[in-house]
């Protein structure tokens, strides 16, 4: 793979002539081009042998019994919930600070997302808030809870020890939203490894990218079979098997409601090449994160991401907090102060954009999104840590190919814009 991080020296161009720095950029070279060309020439571009090969590589890399490729991280979550037997009227616990897809997948089933607050230091679900939320439910509501969906957000593992203890106590299934978790681990255990099912995403903001794409991983062969069937309209025979076997002239039976959540062989061929580069992608992301950590040390208003003891961060995103100490009143989060600081954070992001530096809020507080707020009558301060993360998080550009000189430019612009 060519080293596109060659230019490590600061540019002498005037700031207005510098190329913009994007928030993320997928990295491809001749390997992906050749692999895609081979699929195009093969005459089979839909789900077929490349998808099967990508699944095998992915399962082996992470040590799962099965990996089932699908069209996106969102469809992975939807099918994992269905395969776990979640039904309309059930309830599923999830953090309030995550991408909307986590909650949407639960809504697709007709189940209810039970939101809980996060630990603002890690942006991940707070086990104490899970217990507090359970205490606030009436016995019927509590018995409706059938699963918990921890999210390993931004490439940092969710607190799986506590989650497993709670799930064991209440008999919940664990379906991990590991959309951002590829390459993350804690105490030597990879993201997704401790859940019955984990769901990964290969969207352009993720560590490897197939354009769109997702993967469900599990050790349970019945669950894997169920996801395989559901992704293909619940057909009893796959399209590829029908076309390459005998008797393909007749359509198979469809015994249940299924979906078209198939990944194409074009995407899978890209995925296979991206997996070969994964160790290098992860190593360079960690190097780049260390550069930011060092550059940000002297900037009091920006709190760099923390890495808990024993964790390896995959840095799917490098997400800081803007002036978090000023949002505290004693030990509590002052939501009025958060809203005031959010205006400054937003101005800061606008100024950086004008300087050609793309930043983003980390992700959003689901309870503040109009659909969820109105449907479940949430108030902004119901989940103060999630609100603070929504309003004060700041993701800096990070991707394979960003140079230390680019990062110096980002931090200089940040300092000048504060
Ligand atoms: C935490 C989280 N969950 C789910 C998803 C959905 O993945 P996809 O975009 O592949 O559908 C994302 C993607 O951005 C995500 O960040």
CATH number of residue 174's parent domain? 3.40.640.10
Regarding whether 221 and 312 lie in a shared domain, the answer is no
Does residue 10 fall inside a structural domain?
A: no
Q: Which pLDDT value is given to residue 380? A: 96
Regarding whether 282 and 188 lie in a shared domain, the answer is no
Regarding whether 44 and 166 lie in a shared domain, the answer is yes
Q: Are 82 and 225 in contact (CB under 8 A)?
A: no
Residue 86's contacts (CB-CB under 8 Å, 6 or more residues apart) are 92, 106, 109, 111, 146, 147, 173
Per-residue pLDDT tens digits of the chain, which is 418 residues long? 655 444 444 445 555 678 999 999 999 999 999 999 999 999 999 999 999 999 999 999 999 999 999 999 999 999 999 999 999 999 999 999 999 999 999 999 999 999 999 999 999 999 999 999 999 999 999 999 999 999 999 999 999 999 999 999 999 999 999 999 999 999 999 999 999 999 999 999 999 999 999 999 999 999 999 999 999 999 987 777 888 877 778 888 888 999 999 999 999 999 999 999 999 999 999 999 999 999 999 898 999 999 999 999 999 999 999 999 999 998 899 999 999 999 999 999 999 999 999 999 999 999 999 999 999 999 999 999 999 999 999 999 999 999 999 999 999 999 999 9
Does residue 1 fall inside a structural domain?
A: no
Regarding whether 251 and 202 lie in a shared domain, the answer is yes
Range of the domain at 392: 15-20+278-417
Q: Render 264-283 in DSSP notation, one character per residue.
A: PHHHHHHHHHHHHHHHHHHH
Residue 234: CB atoms within 10 Å: 17
Q: Are 275 and 202 in contact (CB under 8 A)?
A: no
**Chosen domain end from 247, 275, 303:** 275
Q: How far is the CA of 220 from the centre of ligand 1 (A)?
A: 23
Q: How far is the CA of 362 from the centre of ligand 1 (A)?
A: 13
Structurally, how many domains does the chain consist of? 2
Regarding whether 389 and 289 lie in a shared domain, the answer is yes
Q: How far is the CA of 200 from the centre of ligand 1 (A)?
A: 8
What is the atom index within ligand 1 of the atom nearest the CA of 77? 4
Regarding whether 313 and 172 lie in a shared domain, the answer is no
Q: How far is the CA of 10 from the centre of ligand 1 (A)?
A: 34
Q: Are 140 and 405 in contact (CB under 8 A)?
A: no
Regarding whether 153 and 232 lie in a shared domain, the answer is yes
Q: Which residues line ligand 1 (CB under 6 A)?
A: 72-74, 98-99, 101-102, 151, 153, 177, 179-180, 201, 203, 214
What does the alpha-carbon distance between residue 100 and residue 404 come to, in Å, rounded to a whole number? 32
Regarding whether 203 and 57 lie in a shared domain, the answer is yes
Regarding whether 267 and 282 lie in a shared domain, the answer is no
Regarding whether 315 and 246 lie in a shared domain, the answer is no
Regarding whether 271 and 282 lie in a shared domain, the answer is no
Q: Which pLDDT value is given to residue 8? A: 40
Does residue 25 fall inside a structural domain?
A: no
Residue 388, CA distances (Å) to 278, 385, 392 in order: 32, 5, 6
Which CATH number fits the domain that encloses residue 350? 3.90.1150.10
Q: Are 253 and 11 in contact (CB under 8 A)?
A: no
Among 23, 73, 151, 180, the mutation site with the greatest number of ligand 1 atoms within 8 A of its Cβ is 73
Q: How far is the CA of 96 from the centre of ligand 1 (A)?
A: 14
Q: Render 346-408 in DSSP notation, one character per residue.
A: HHHHHHHHHTTB--B-S--BGGGSHHHHHHHT--GGGSHHHHHHHHHEEEEP--TT--HHHHH
pTM of the model: 0.95
Give the residue whose CA is nearest to atom 10 of ligand 1.
73
**Chosen domain end from 210, 243, 275:** 275
Q: How far is the CA of 16 from the centre of ligand 1 (A)?
A: 34
Active-site residue flag, 340 = no
Does residue 7 fall inside a structural domain?
A: no
Q: In which order are the strands placed within the sheet that holds 185-186?
A: 189-190, 185-186, 311-312
Among 72, 198, 203, 315, the mutation site with the greatest number of ligand 1 atoms within 8 A of its Cβ is 203
Q: Render 150-194 in DSSP notation, one character per residue.
A: -B-GGG----HHHHHHHHHHHT-EEEEE-TT-TT-EETTEETTTT
Active-site residue, selected from the candidate residues 146, 206, 277, 303: 206
Among 72, 81, 99, 122, the mutation site with the greatest number of ligand 1 atoms within 8 A of its Cβ is 99
What does the alpha-carbon distance between residue 16 and residue 14 come to, in Å, rounded to a whole number? 6
**Chosen domain end from 275, 302, 334:** 275
Give the residue whose CA is nearest to atom 16 of ligand 1.
99
Regarding whether 266 and 283 lie in a shared domain, the answer is no
């Amino acid at each position: 793979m060519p080293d596109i991080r060659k230019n490590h020296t600061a540019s002498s161009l005037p700031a207005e002539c510098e190329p913009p720095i994007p928030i993320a950029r997928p990295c491809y070279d001749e390997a992906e081009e050749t692999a895609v060309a081979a699929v195009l020439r093969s005459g089979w571009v839909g789900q077929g042998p490349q998808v099967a090969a990508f699944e095998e590589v992915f399962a082996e890399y992470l040590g799962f019994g099965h990996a089932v490729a699908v069209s996106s991280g969102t469809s992975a979550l939807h099918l994992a919930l269905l395969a776990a037997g979640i039904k309309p009227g059930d309830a599923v616990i999830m953090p309030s600070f995550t991408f909307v897809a986590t909650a949407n997948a639960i809504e697709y089933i007709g189940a209810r997302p039970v939101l809980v607050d996060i630990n603002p230091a890690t942006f991940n679900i707070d086990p104490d808030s899970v217990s507090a939320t359970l205490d606030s439910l009436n016995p019927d509501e509590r018995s409706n809870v059938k699963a918990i969906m921890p999210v390993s957000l931004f490439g940092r593992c969710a607190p799986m020890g506590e989650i497993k203890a709670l799930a064991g106590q209440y008999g919940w299934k664990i379906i991990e939203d590991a959309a951002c978790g590829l390459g993350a681990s804690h105490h030597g255990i990879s993201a997704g490894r401790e859940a019955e099912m984990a769901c990964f995403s290969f969207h352009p903001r993720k560590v490897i990218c197939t354009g769109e794409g997702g993967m469900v991983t599990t050790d349970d062969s019945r669950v894997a079979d169920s996801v395989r069937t559901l992704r293909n309209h619940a057909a009893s025979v796959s399209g590829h098997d029908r076309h390459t076997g005998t008797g393909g002239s007749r359509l198979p039976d469809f015994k249940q409601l299924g979906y078209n959540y198939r990944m194409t062989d074009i995407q899978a061929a890209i995925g296979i090449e991206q997996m070969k580069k994964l160790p290098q992608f992860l190593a360079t992301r960690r190097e780049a994160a260390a550069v930011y950590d060092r550059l940000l040390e002297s900037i009091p208003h920006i709190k760099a991401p923390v890495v808990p003891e024993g964790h390896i961060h995959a840095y799917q995103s490098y997400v800081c907090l803007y002036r978090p100490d000023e949002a505290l009143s004693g030990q509590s989060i002052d939501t009025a102060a958060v809203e005031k600081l959010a205006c400054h954070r937003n101005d800061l992001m606008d100024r950086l954009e004008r300087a050609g530096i793309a930043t983003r809020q980390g992700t959003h507080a689901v309870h503040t999104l109009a659909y969820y707020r109105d449907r479940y009558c949430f108030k902004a301060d119901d989940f103060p840590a999630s609100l603070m993360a929504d309003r004060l998080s700041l993701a800096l550009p990070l991707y394979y190919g960003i140079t230390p000189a680019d990062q110096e430019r980002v931090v200089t612009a940040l300092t000048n814009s504060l």
